[in-house]
Structure 1
Amino acid sequence: MGIIARNFKENIYSTFVVTCAYVWVCLIKALGESHAREHFRFAVDCRALFEPALPITYFGNCVLSCFNSATKSDLVGEDGIAGAAEVIRNGIQGMKDDDGLLKRAANYFASIQSAGSERICTVAGSPHLKVYDTDFGWGKPKKSEVVSIRDARTISFAERGDGQVGVGVEVGLALKESEMDVFASIFADTIKFLS
């Protein structure tokens, strides 16, 4: 696990990558279903990935799903979080390759179908969406929840809601009470182990 800490400090892994890897591995362990492979999917803003890049003011659909896979045994092993972080980071880097973006777009549905009945964990949201800066006239929200994560394979992800910019993120899960108890225990025990 020292590899993750060192690489995070050296900016090799982003907050997004480390947080997603940590939660993904804890979730896999908590749910305990037997799948040979696990899959992880999240949306990527692709405007900057085109050559030339689309302007930040571009108004249209330029979001693509980044679909990543790993064997369950690699993810629940001793270096599972480091392995998950590497899988997610490599997926992001693959989208920056010269033809990676277009290949992923062309093969997206085939990659989803290849997962079959195996578990696909999905991320809803991003700290970059700045949900806590939204004001529709009655003030900024005190708490934001993504209700579509009612599925046990979806993680919500947002910036920290207490106004401290750049320090921490919010992660949400919707699990059965027994699953949440197991997840919380694994999450806390792993944090203690890493400290």
Structure 2
Amino acid sequence: MGCNKLATLMKVARVTRDYIKPSSITPPHLRNFKFSLLDQLAPSLYAPMVFFYPMQDISNIKAATSYRVNHLKRSLSPFLNRFYPFAGRIKDHVSIDCNDAGVEFFEAKVINTCLNDFLRLPNANALKQFLPVDIESNKSMDHLVHVQTNTFECGGMALGICWSHKITDGGTASTFMKGWSSMASGLGDEVVPEYVASSLFPPMDSSIKQHALKLDKDRTTTRRFVFDGSKIVKLKDKVASKEVPKPTRVEAVSSLLWQCATKASRANSGSQALSVMSQSMNIRRRTLPPLPDTSIGNLVGYYIAKMEENSDHIMHLEDLVTKQRQGKTEAINNYAKKLQGNDAYVVIQELFKEAGSLLRRDDVEFFKCLSTCGDGLYDADFGWGKPAWQSLVSLGYKNTFALSETKEGGGIEAWVTLNEDDMAIFEHDLNLLQFASSNPSVIEIQSEQELLKQVERRLIFDDPTYDFTLLTW
């Protein structure tokens, strides 16, 4: 089934809407939750993700599906006692009213598509149907998190979650998922969130200007590329240099994406516009002293790398990696380690000043890269196994690379959004395809066929009266 056909045929129908509230009332002294300065400067956007869980026990699909949805609801309520800000509402640019209003929770049914059909050929537009809110609108932006369960006819589930970027980065989303799944499964230690950001980076009481974002969505298209772990090892060897002898996998992959996207843009425009890439980074372990990984908030920094021209009109990969490493080192020294001083706002403004000036220039091609690699999002086991696939959902903004982990093997999955003309060149770049596969199947066909045989044997020999119409793999 083609991905466009899949997106057209698949329908997601909501059947219930609830608000899950903390099981205990938030104490009065915790009702007014302060944003940090970094939260205040964060854009008013959603951070959307979807987690896919197959049905492991097919003995009673309807009962098992109902159990899983109810179990998520029951475990979310006591979980919100510790993660109480997420059950509140954004009051103003300074604070959250932790009023226990609850997390909006939708239940939905997926029609005309089975989980494995979707996982064979993931589609960026179809992914959006699994989300609890329309990420294109500003509706319910006072909410901190929305949840939606999407149940397939085969019993599989897609768990869609939208977090407000005003308090959530990749690290916070990871802590949220680890805490919720740990409570639900009882398999891990209790996750204790740390609410230290506002004391370390105090908010400004007066209204402050958010940093500029060039959010162009005109004629953009999104494609998925997967870098297998073994291919990344080869890519890292290729881009290693005297300056950066041991590049990280994110540095290697993002540099290749940046190079190929710039080549495509320049081929279409005929110009040699300055190419710049902004990369996000987790600053929890880069402050003095380092912050706990469970610190809640938008605790990210950014660094900028510029692609300088040479006689080939393109910078070589090892040079791009070096530029990234230099930008990261400078950002750590001049940004992350100085944020806890009295001039934190000045430090942040200086960081955004250069980015803002570049964003306003017409002769600059600006790329943005974000990564959740290393955040452990595949550890979200609610008691029925880890997700078969976890994916970021593209917001559709031009010139963005969204990187996340593959489930196994140290690979990286990239959702790349470019304008349509640039993508037509980019997705056929032989340098890219040497290391990346274009939208490969998430599931292993051979193992799926073996599973189907096992299911058929069980149905035939163990329960001959089983309703075969449920077998919609």
Corresponding residue SS for 1:41: strand
**TM-superposed deviation, 1:2:** 10
Contact 1:4/1:13 (<8 A) preserved: no
Corresponding residue SS for 2:247: coil
Counterpart residue number, 1:170: 413
The 1:179/1:5 distance shift into structure 2, 3 A limit, reads closer
The 1:96/1:112 distance shift into structure 2, 3 A limit, reads closer
* Structure 2 residue 375 is the aligned partner of structure 1 residue 129: yes
Structure 2 residue aligned with 1:184, among 423, 427, 447? 427
Counterpart residue number, 2:300: 63
* Structure 2 residue 366 is the aligned partner of structure 1 residue 120: yes
**TM-superposed deviation, 1:41:** 1.0
Contact 1:135/1:141 (<8 A) preserved: no
What is the CA–CA distance in structure 2 between the aligned matches of 1:110 and 1:88, rounded to whole Å? 19
**TM-superposed deviation, 1:15:** 0.6
User: TM-score scaled by structure 1?
Assistant: 0.76
* Structure 2 residue 394 is the aligned partner of structure 1 residue 144: no
Structure 2 residue aligned with 1:88, among 302, 320, 324? 324
CA-to-aligned-CA distance 1:80-126 (integer Å, 9 cap, x gap): 212211111111111232x4434862312211222023221111332
What is the CA–CA distance in structure 2 between the aligned matches of 1:64 and 1:26, rounded to whole Å? 25
What is the CA–CA distance in structure 1 between the aligned matches of 2:335 and 2:236, rounded to whole Å? 30
What is the CA–CA distance in structure 1 between the aligned matches of 2:302 and 2:405, rounded to whole Å? 20
2:424 maps to amino acid: D
Listed as ranges, the gaps of 5+ residues in structure 2 are: 1-234, 339-345, 435-473
CA-to-aligned-CA distance 1:62-91 (integer Å, 9 cap, x gap): 2112222233x2496465212211111111
1:64 maps to amino acid: G
Name whichever structure is richer in helix by fraction.
Answer: 1
Q: Provide the identity percentage.
A: 20
2:380 maps to amino acid: T
What is the CA–CA distance in structure 2 between the aligned matches of 1:75 and 1:46, rounded to whole Å? 37
Contact 1:75/1:83 (<8 A) preserved: no
Contact 2:400/2:418 (<8 A) preserved: no
What is the CA–CA distance in structure 1 between the aligned matches of 2:253 and 2:297, rounded to whole Å? 29
Name whichever structure is richer in strand by fraction.
Answer: 2
What is the CA–CA distance in structure 2 between the aligned matches of 1:75 and 1:143, rounded to whole Å? 42
Moved more, 127-136 or 151-160: 127-136
CA-to-aligned-CA distance 1:32-51 (integer Å, 9 cap, x gap): 24353221112211111122
What is the CA–CA distance in structure 1 between the aligned matches of 2:311 and 2:366, rounded to whole Å? 14
Q: How many residues align?
A: 185
Q: How does 1:4-83 map to 2 (within 5 A)?
A: 4-7=238-241, 12-32=246-266, 33=269, 34=271, 36-71=273-308, 73-74=309-310, 77=313, 79-83=315-319
Contact 1:41/1:123 (<8 A) preserved: yes
What is the CA–CA distance in structure 1 between the aligned matches of 2:330 and 2:311, rounded to whole Å? 20
What is the CA–CA distance in structure 2 between the aligned matches of 1:57 and 1:85, rounded to whole Å? 29
What is the CA–CA distance in structure 1 between the aligned matches of 2:347 and 2:425, rounded to whole Å? 35
1:87 maps to amino acid: K
What is the CA–CA distance in structure 2 between the aligned matches of 1:109 and 1:86, rounded to whole Å? 22
Q: How does 1:152-167 map to 2 (within 5 A)?
A: 152-160=398-406, 163-166=407-410
RMSD (CA atoms): 3.3
Contact 1:95/1:104 (<8 A) preserved: no
What is the CA–CA distance in structure 2 between the aligned matches of 1:80 and 1:50, rounded to whole Å? 32
Structure number with bigger Rg: 2
